[in-house]
Structure 1
Amino acid sequence: MARQHPEEPTLAEVTIEEVKAMGKQGLAHPSTKPVLTGGAIGAVAGLVLPVVSWPVGLLAGAAIALYSRVKR
Protein backbone atom coordinates (compact mmCIF):
# COMPACT_ATOMS: atom_id res chain seq x y z
CA MET A 1 0.00 0.00 0.00
CA ALA A 2 1.47 3.35 -1.05
CA ARG A 3 1.88 6.00 1.59
CA GLN A 4 0.17 9.23 0.80
CA HIS A 5 2.25 12.37 1.12
CA PRO A 6 0.59 15.63 1.91
CA GLU A 7 0.95 18.07 -0.92
CA GLU A 8 3.70 20.59 -0.52
CA PRO A 9 2.49 24.19 -0.36
CA THR A 10 2.75 26.21 -3.56
CA LEU A 11 5.16 29.11 -3.91
CA ALA A 12 2.23 31.52 -3.63
CA GLU A 13 1.05 29.92 -0.37
CA VAL A 14 4.55 30.02 1.13
CA THR A 15 4.97 33.65 0.06
CA ILE A 16 1.63 34.67 1.60
CA GLU A 17 2.55 32.98 4.89
CA GLU A 18 5.95 34.70 4.86
CA VAL A 19 4.38 38.13 4.31
CA LYS A 20 1.86 37.48 7.11
CA ALA A 21 4.66 36.47 9.47
CA MET A 22 6.66 39.56 8.52
CA GLY A 23 3.61 41.71 9.23
CA LYS A 24 3.09 40.14 12.65
CA GLN A 25 6.72 40.10 13.77
CA GLY A 26 7.91 43.30 12.13
CA LEU A 27 11.66 43.85 12.14
CA ALA A 28 12.12 40.82 14.40
CA HIS A 29 11.32 38.52 11.45
CA PRO A 30 14.46 37.35 9.62
CA SER A 31 13.06 38.22 6.17
CA THR A 32 11.98 41.78 6.92
CA LYS A 33 15.36 43.51 6.73
CA PRO A 34 16.49 41.83 3.48
CA VAL A 35 13.15 42.63 1.82
CA LEU A 36 13.33 46.26 2.95
CA THR A 37 16.90 46.45 1.70
CA GLY A 38 15.87 45.00 -1.65
CA GLY A 39 13.09 47.57 -1.89
CA ALA A 40 15.52 50.40 -1.14
CA ILE A 41 17.98 49.17 -3.75
CA GLY A 42 15.15 48.88 -6.27
CA ALA A 43 13.96 52.42 -5.49
CA VAL A 44 17.46 53.80 -6.05
CA ALA A 45 17.70 51.88 -9.31
CA GLY A 46 14.32 53.33 -10.29
CA LEU A 47 15.63 56.85 -9.67
CA VAL A 48 18.71 56.22 -11.81
CA LEU A 49 17.04 54.42 -14.71
CA PRO A 50 14.94 56.68 -16.94
CA VAL A 51 12.50 53.91 -17.92
CA VAL A 52 11.52 52.87 -14.37
CA SER A 53 10.07 55.12 -11.66
CA TRP A 54 11.14 54.73 -8.02
CA PRO A 55 7.85 53.12 -6.87
CA VAL A 56 8.15 50.45 -9.55
CA GLY A 57 11.78 49.89 -8.59
CA LEU A 58 10.85 49.67 -4.92
CA LEU A 59 8.18 47.03 -5.57
CA ALA A 60 10.41 45.08 -7.94
CA GLY A 61 13.36 45.12 -5.53
CA ALA A 62 11.21 44.03 -2.60
CA ALA A 63 9.57 41.30 -4.69
CA ILE A 64 12.92 39.94 -5.86
CA ALA A 65 14.28 39.90 -2.30
CA LEU A 66 11.13 38.20 -0.98
CA TYR A 67 11.23 35.62 -3.77
CA SER A 68 14.87 34.82 -3.00
CA ARG A 69 14.01 34.35 0.70
CA VAL A 70 10.99 32.11 0.02
CA LYS A 71 12.57 30.02 -2.73
CA ARG A 72 15.27 28.55 -0.42
Structure 2
Amino acid sequence: MTVTSIRFPENVYNKIKEAADFSGLNVTAYMRDAIIEKIEDQEDYAECVKEAQNMTETVSREEVMKEVFGDEDK
Protein backbone atom coordinates (compact mmCIF):
# COMPACT_ATOMS: atom_id res chain seq x y z
CA MET A 1 0.00 0.00 0.00
CA THR A 2 1.29 3.46 -0.88
CA VAL A 3 1.18 6.33 1.59
CA THR A 4 1.00 9.95 0.48
CA SER A 5 0.52 13.29 2.16
CA ILE A 6 -1.45 16.33 1.11
CA ARG A 7 -0.98 19.85 2.40
CA PHE A 8 -4.06 22.00 2.99
CA PRO A 9 -4.46 25.48 4.37
CA GLU A 10 -5.85 25.22 7.89
CA ASN A 11 -9.28 26.57 6.88
CA VAL A 12 -9.62 23.95 4.12
CA TYR A 13 -8.54 21.14 6.45
CA ASN A 14 -11.12 22.28 9.00
CA LYS A 15 -13.86 22.03 6.35
CA ILE A 16 -12.68 18.54 5.42
CA LYS A 17 -12.61 17.54 9.10
CA GLU A 18 -16.16 18.83 9.62
CA ALA A 19 -17.40 16.94 6.55
CA ALA A 20 -15.65 13.76 7.67
CA ASP A 21 -17.09 14.06 11.18
CA PHE A 22 -20.56 14.61 9.73
CA SER A 23 -20.13 11.47 7.62
CA GLY A 24 -18.90 9.45 10.58
CA LEU A 25 -15.46 8.93 9.06
CA ASN A 26 -11.96 9.96 9.97
CA VAL A 27 -10.28 12.46 7.67
CA THR A 28 -8.15 9.83 5.91
CA ALA A 29 -11.13 7.60 5.10
CA TYR A 30 -13.19 10.60 3.98
CA MET A 31 -10.50 11.80 1.57
CA ARG A 32 -9.84 8.27 0.27
CA ASP A 33 -13.56 7.76 -0.40
CA ALA A 34 -13.82 11.16 -2.12
CA ILE A 35 -10.85 10.43 -4.37
CA ILE A 36 -12.10 6.95 -5.30
CA GLU A 37 -15.57 8.37 -6.06
CA LYS A 38 -14.02 11.05 -8.30
CA ILE A 39 -12.01 8.44 -10.21
CA GLU A 40 -15.09 6.24 -10.67
CA ASP A 41 -17.10 9.24 -11.92
CA GLN A 42 -14.39 10.04 -14.46
CA GLU A 43 -14.27 6.42 -15.63
CA ASP A 44 -18.06 6.38 -16.01
CA TYR A 45 -17.97 9.65 -17.95
CA ALA A 46 -15.21 8.39 -20.24
CA GLU A 47 -17.20 5.22 -20.93
CA CYS A 48 -20.31 7.27 -21.78
CA VAL A 49 -18.34 9.53 -24.11
CA LYS A 50 -16.89 6.48 -25.86
CA GLU A 51 -20.38 4.97 -26.25
CA ALA A 52 -21.78 8.27 -27.53
CA GLN A 53 -19.03 8.52 -30.14
CA ASN A 54 -19.99 5.07 -31.42
CA MET A 55 -23.67 5.92 -31.76
CA THR A 56 -25.00 6.47 -35.25
CA GLU A 57 -28.66 6.90 -34.38
CA THR A 58 -30.23 10.19 -33.29
CA VAL A 59 -33.20 10.45 -30.97
CA SER A 60 -35.61 13.36 -30.74
CA ARG A 61 -36.24 15.22 -27.52
CA GLU A 62 -39.82 13.99 -27.60
CA GLU A 63 -38.68 10.37 -27.76
CA VAL A 64 -36.35 10.92 -24.81
CA MET A 65 -39.10 12.57 -22.76
CA LYS A 66 -41.49 9.73 -23.56
CA GLU A 67 -38.91 7.13 -22.58
CA VAL A 68 -38.00 8.88 -19.34
CA PHE A 69 -41.42 10.10 -18.21
CA GLY A 70 -43.74 7.74 -20.04
CA ASP A 71 -46.73 8.54 -22.21
CA GLU A 72 -48.60 11.44 -20.61
CA ASP A 73 -51.75 10.76 -22.67
CA LYS A 74 -52.63 7.57 -20.73
Task: Using structure 1 for the length normalisation, give the TM-score.
Answer: 0.35
TM-score (norm 2): 0.34
Whose helix fraction is larger, Structure 1's or Structure 2's? 1
